Amino acid sequence: MPVDVLVGLQWGDEGKGKIVDVLAPTYDVVARFQGGPNAGHTLTFDGIKHVLHQVPSGIFHPHIINVVGNGVVLDPFVFRQELQKLTDRGIDWAKNLYVSRKAQLILPSHRALDRINEEARGGSKIGSTLKGIGPTYQDKIGRTGLRVGDILLPDFQERYQEAVARHAQLAQFHGKELEIGEFEADFFSAIEFLRTLQLTDTEYLLNDLLKQGKNVLAEGAQGSMLDIDFGTYPYVTSSSTIVAGACTGLGIAPKHIEKVYGISKAYCTRVGSGPFPTELLDGVGEQIRQAGREFGSTTGRPRRCGWIDLPALRYSIMLNGVTEIHLMKADVLDEFDEIQICTHYRTADGKETDHLPDHGDLENLTPIYTSLPGWRTNLQAVTDPQALPAELKSYVQFLEKHLEVPVSIVSVGPDRVSTLHLS
């Protein structure tokens, strides 16, 4: 059976968690393949909002196996908090949650280093969530990191102290102290909890399940424009957020991948620093922010808002081999008389392009817009795709024509029932 992959096509926060929740009942397995507690996947059903950071979004379905893959960086303390909240809400996760022994551990010293590094950047801050993600991936690539499987070794305490000593030296380079003493007790308590979970070689687990005919939904975090290689570098995350990351982050071969679901908002948002060609710094941007409740589910920071950007979307679609698009939060644009769509950029020398330039040129782009009429309809009241207003159907058709990929889902509200399947 195949592996289908779900990725964000913008700068994250596209609504991936909701779509995983909607699609999950048709899958046997949901597996997270990268990122860590810097992700915030929000799911709303039965009038209750749930926010997941490291736990796969299939966890609310008892028949689904949920896998935290080797490409994830795991904060044991945050992970325990997440699972406790699920327990408090009556979710029995113990039997269907598996964690890769090869996933990297986020240590308290990683979080401290993250803050120290960001402060050292001064006015050129990345916009880090300060969750320790970057320093953990640095240790992974530098071959000095600790993995989940290490907590089962008799010398884990010594390995931990060696890692903290290295991090202390890095902090001293910036004239800082790590100041992690108050967090270590909670960390080691969470490590004891982590030892009680189903820790396994998830690459074997997943491939065995595929041999048994099970189908897998690979769940990405962040968005393609934050990919470490292809995003708006250096204002990116520290992992591969595109489809290729599902192979390395889960230990599955490319031959298994079939569908690629690309998730995009009907507009654009971004958290943190970095170029954002269609950003709106006026009342329109604020109207979108308030209507869409665009505040980070992980950090609470207000998101930067702008119109949809087709050159950036085409780029992400190309990188991921997207087979269908799921258009999220269309209802946020309900009150607009006109909807703007960026189809091209004008460069600093006056040329038009529909390609996404490198980072240095992104700062000097002027978006070229096409205007379409708004629908001026309360979309949250629409339950039948055929009843969608003609203006929204025209908007979707415009996107399909220019992106050359079908839009198969339109989301018209936060609840899982506010999800309209067009095909």
Is 88 considered catalytic here? Answer: no
Q: How confident is the model at residue 297 (pLDDT cuts 50, 70, 90)?
A: low
What domains can be seen in the chain, in order of their start residue? 265-421 (3.90.170.10)
State the burial class of residue 207 (Cβ atoms within 10 Å of its Cβ: 0-12, 13-18, 19+): middle
Positions at the binding site for IMP:
13-16, 38-41, 129, 143, 222, 237, 301
Q: Supply the pLDDT for residue 173.
A: 87
What residue has token string 């270590």? 184
Positions at the binding site for GTP:
12-18, 40-42, 303, 329-331, 411-413
Quote the tokens at residue 366: 């002027």
Positions at the binding site for substrate:
297-303
Tell me the sheet residues that pair with 4. Answer: 217
Angle between the 108-120 and 133-141 helix axes, to the nearest 10 degrees?
Answer: 100
pLDDT tens, 105-128?
999 999 999 888 888 777 676 767
Rounded Cα–Cα distance for residues 207 and 211 (Å): 6
Q: Are 98 and 86 in contact (CB under 8 A)?
A: no
What residue has token string 């950003």? 279
What residue has token string 């890769």? 100
Rounded (5°) CA angle 275-20-316: 30
Instruction: Tally the C-alpha atoms within 13 A of residue 423's C-alpha that lie toward its C-beta.
Output: 10
User: Is residue 186 classed as helix, strand or coil in its secondary structure?
Assistant: helix
φ, ψ dihedrals at 202, nearest 5°: -65, -20
What residue has token string 């979307």? 313
Rounded Cα–Cα distance for residues 16 and 12 (Å): 9
Quote the tokens at residue 105: 């551990």
Is 211 considered catalytic here? Answer: no
Rounded Cα–Cα distance for residues 37 and 189 (Å): 18
* Residue ranges in 142-278 assigned as alpha helix (H): 156-173, 181-194, 202-211, 244-250
**Cis peptide bond N-terminal to 414, omega within 30:** no
Rounded Cα–Cα distance for residues 396 and 120 (Å): 44
pLDDT exceeds 80 at position 264: yes
pLDDT tens, 139-154?
999 999 999 999 999 9
Tell me the sheet residues that pair with 6. Answer: 219, 261
Q: How confident is the model at residue 376 (pLDDT cuts 50, 70, 90)?
A: very high
φ, ψ dihedrals at 28, nearest 5°: -90, -25
- The letter for the amino acid at 378 is N
Positions at the binding site for Mg(2+):
13, 40
For range 380-396, the mean pLDDT: 96
Q: Point out the catalytic residue in the list 140, 167, 256, 265.
A: 140
User: For a pLDDT cut of 70, what percent of the chain falls above it?
Assistant: 97
Positions at the binding site:
12-18, 38-42, 129, 143, 222, 237, 297-303, 329-331, 411-413
Q: pTM, whole model, 2 decimals? A: 0.93
Q: Are 215 and 34 in contact (CB under 8 A)?
A: no
Q: Point out the catalytic residue in the list 41, 110, 131, 326.
A: 41
Quote the tokens at residue 152: 């089962």
Q: Write the secondary structure of 216-240 as one string of H (helix), E (strand) and C (coil).
A: EEEECCCCHHHCCCCCCCCCCCCCC
Could you tell me which of 104, 105, 107, 96 has the C-alpha nearest to residue 31? 96
Q: Point out the catalytic residue in the list 13, 21, 28, 75.
A: 13
pLDDT exceeds 80 at position 214: yes
pLDDT tens, 48-90?
777 888 999 899 999 999 999 999 999 999 999 999 999 998 9
User: Is residue 410 classed as helix, strand or coil in its secondary structure?
Assistant: strand
Tell me the sheet residues that pair with 27. Answer: none
Mean pLDDT of the chain: 93
Is 344 considered catalytic here? Answer: no
Tell me the sheet residues that pair with 342. Answer: 309, 369
For range 166-187, the mean pLDDT: 89
Rounded Cα–Cα distance for residues 388 and 251 (Å): 41
Q: How confident is the model at residue 359 (pLDDT cuts 50, 70, 90)?
A: low
Inter-CA distances, 363 with 34, 119, 357, 358, Å: 28, 23, 10, 9
* Residue ranges in 13-75 assigned as alpha helix (H): 16-23
